[in-house]
Every structure is written in C-alpha cells, then in structure tokens.
Structure 1
C-alpha cells in the first residue's frame, strides 16, 4: 500500500493542516530544538567551568607548608665586610633562631649593618633586630630606637647596655623593647618583640663575638 503524501491530518481538528499551520508547526519544532541545544551547551559549559575551578582549588591554591624565608647573615656579613670600616657583627646563635633579612646600607647618612632575627619564643615566634651604626650619632640612635626614652641599664658579658622598655604602650610594634650599647667604633641597637631572655641571649652572643675579634 502506497504511503500517503497529502497534507498532514491534524487529529485535533479532524482535517488536513493548512500550509500556514504546517509552517508554524515546523517553526515551533525548530525553536524547541534550538532551545534544547542551547540548554545542552549551557550544561556542558557549566560542567567545564566547575572542572577548572576544582583544578585551581586542588592544585593551584591548595595550602602549602613552605619553608620560611631565611638569610645567611654570617655569609652576607663576610661578603659586605670589605665595604665597612668596622667589623660587622654576626653572632653565632642557637639553631632554633634564624635571620630573615641581612643587609649593609645607610640610615640617616650613617652606614648601618642590619640583621632581622626570628626567635623561638613561645607561644609564637617573635622578632628582634640587630642594627649596628658605624661612627653613628645621636640622630641615628633616636631613629633606630624609634625615639624611645631610656628606662634602665644592664651589663651583659662586660658590655653596658641602655634599655628602652615600651611594652606597656600600644602600637610600638618592633620597637616595644630596645637595647643600645657602644662597642668599639659602633653603636649597636637591638629592638623588637622578643622576650628579655632572648634579648639577653643575643647581647651575650654579641659580647662573645666582640671579645674574639
């Protein structure tokens, strides 16, 4: 039996559909197809984006246990010594201490050797800086003690130190506690947030190094 090629019969109407109805039906079918295709593409794009985000979270921005930045201050001091007229202080300290910065520069036109130490104080690490001003002056001393007033004195390893204790004040940062001493042709200042015991340990190490020179 030959297949009918006449107009499509619309069941709801009980008659063949008109050319306009045929055009409208095909147009609607095309619209639905495009809508389905767009939704499919949107789903694919969303899945791909989520995959990229997951990759970044797992691989790129995942937490890492990076080693702290350290500076070999004793080697840096030895290399910089040829540019300094006084022996640069690089005391030997316990292995639990480390330096995160060391440099020879100038402060208020005074040649200054700087070392920043991170200490093992509990419950968290603290900081103490060593600043050595060669042929310094009162202006330099005021700058590197942040204008603090002397509060006490002490002697460690035969070296007399002036103490500037501002721990009871707020917003003193790395100048909460300072110590200064005259060693040969240099003025040495220690300042930071470390404990008294750690300041004294550093001062004793400086005294030991100064005796050996």
Structure 2
C-alpha cells in the first residue's frame, strides 16, 4: 500500500508547508491546548475555593441562635446542702441575670460553693460567687488571685474588702473582687462586671443571709 505523502497546503503561502512549519504548527496547537487546560483548571480551583469559603461563612462561622447554657443554681444549692456544714448562698437576682455554672467542690482543702453569674448587659459582665466554708488565708489568697486590698465598703450591714485591679492588664476574671465574712464562711465575689453589679449581688447576698 502506498504511503500518503500529501502535504498540507498553507493558504497564506499558496504552497505545501515545510516539515519545520508542520512541526511549529503542531507545537503551537499543543501550547494553546495546554494553556486552555491550565485556565480551566485555575477557574475550577477558584470556584472550589469560593465554595469552601461560602460553606464556612454560612455553616461554620455563622452566629449561633442557641440560648446560653444556664444552671438552676438555687435548685443545685438545695440539693448540695445535705453535704455542706454551712447554709449555701443562693441569692435571688433580677431576671436579666442568669447562672452558667453552680457546684459544690473543694479548693485548697476548703469546701467551696461556686456560682458563676452573667449580669446584664452582655456576656462579658461576669461575677463568680465563691463561698469557702471554714476558709483560711490560703484559700482567700487563691480565690482573690493574690490581689491586694484597695478599699472597704459596707453593704446592707456587711463589711466587704475590695480588691480593684481594673487598671491592670491580664487580670481576667479577677479584675475586681470583694470578700466578706458571713456566718462560718468567707465569701468572695470576683469578675469583670461593673461595681454597681457587684454591689447589687452583695445586697442580694445580705438579704439571703438574713433569711437563713
């Protein structure tokens, strides 16, 4: 069978293309094909990346509409009372307040009743109540984070020592603290809320202690 040696005629030249021109034409065609494939791959990768970002925005980092975790601290206090030798404080507070944690445990060998409160207007307004039963100076130093006393105030007949470190940095939930002796317990309040919120809680504690 005879080999087909017909050469491609280049219209612009009016003659068959040379072997070099054939090679160059095929090389250019391959280059354009690879360039198109690279562009398609780039577009595909970009679309995939945008899809991932959209997924993260819509699903992963979207704000949660779930209600905050709350603890019925008064019920927990009533249940834990059987294991405590002193009345556990469970002050009544405005409905805008809520507790996110309540437990009876031990700190530095001292039985400690803990309640975490969140006060208005935001979740950054936090106050912890820690009641140490038959507490000692070591316990007090731990639950005030070693802060030095800066003032004393009397609220509803109870004298409180104040530890104000709000002008310092990195004090966390010990930016402001108050301590008082109530019955056989040492009570410490500490957190990030405004002074007025601390005083409201202290007044509620005084009322709760009178009832007991």
> Structure 1-normalised TM-score?
0.76
CA 1:29 to 1:94, structure 2 compared with 1: closer, same or farther past 3 Å?
A: same
Give the stretch that moved more between structures: 69-78 or 15-24: 15-24
Name the counterpart of 1:137.
136
Name the counterpart of 2:94.
94
CA 1:13 to 1:65, structure 2 compared with 1: closer, same or farther past 3 Å?
A: same
Cα contact 1:150–1:162 (8 A) shared by 2: no
Following the alignment from structure 1 to structure 2, what is the Cα–Cα distance between the partners of residues 129 and 173?
12
Q: Identify unmatched segments of 5+ residues in structure 1.
A: none
Report Cα offsets for 1:3-43 as digits up to 9, x if no partner. Answer: xx832223454432344543443343233223323322332
Following the alignment from structure 2 to structure 1, what is the Cα–Cα distance between the partners of residues 53 and 20?
49
Question: The residue matched to 2:149 in structure 1 has which SS?
Answer: coil
Q: In the TM superposition, what is the alpha-carbon distance from 1:133 to its structure 2 partner?
A: 0.5
Aligned length: 206
Cα contact 2:127–2:198 (8 A) shared by 1: yes
Following the alignment from structure 1 to structure 2, what is the Cα–Cα distance between the partners of residues 151 and 32?
81
Following the alignment from structure 1 to structure 2, what is the Cα–Cα distance between the partners of residues 18 and 176?
87
Following the alignment from structure 2 to structure 1, what is the Cα–Cα distance between the partners of residues 74 and 161?
26
Cα contact 1:161–1:179 (8 A) shared by 2: no
CA 1:119 to 1:168, structure 2 compared with 1: closer, same or farther past 3 Å?
A: closer
Give the stretch that moved more between structures: 183-192 or 104-113: 183-192
Name the counterpart of 1:45.
45
Within the alignment, does 1:54 sit opposite 2:54 as a pair? yes
> Structure 2-normalised TM-score?
0.77
Following the alignment from structure 2 to structure 1, what is the Cα–Cα distance between the partners of residues 80 and 178?
24
Aligned CA RMSD, in angstroms, stands at 3.1
Q: Identify unmatched segments of 5+ residues in structure 2.
A: none
Name the counterpart of 1:111.
111
Report Cα offsets for 1:50-105 as digits up to 9, x if no partner. Answer: 23322332343233455334322223323333332222211111111112232222
Name the counterpart of 2:205.
206
Following the alignment from structure 1 to structure 2, what is the Cα–Cα distance between the partners of residues 67 and 24?
70
Following the alignment from structure 2 to structure 1, what is the Cα–Cα distance between the partners of residues 65 and 184?
43
Question: The residue matched to 1:43 in structure 2 has which SS?
Answer: helix
Name the counterpart of 1:164.
162
Cα contact 1:115–1:129 (8 A) shared by 2: yes
Cα contact 1:99–1:116 (8 A) shared by 2: yes
Following the alignment from structure 1 to structure 2, what is the Cα–Cα distance between the partners of residues 206 and 69?
23
Cα contact 2:155–2:199 (8 A) shared by 1: no
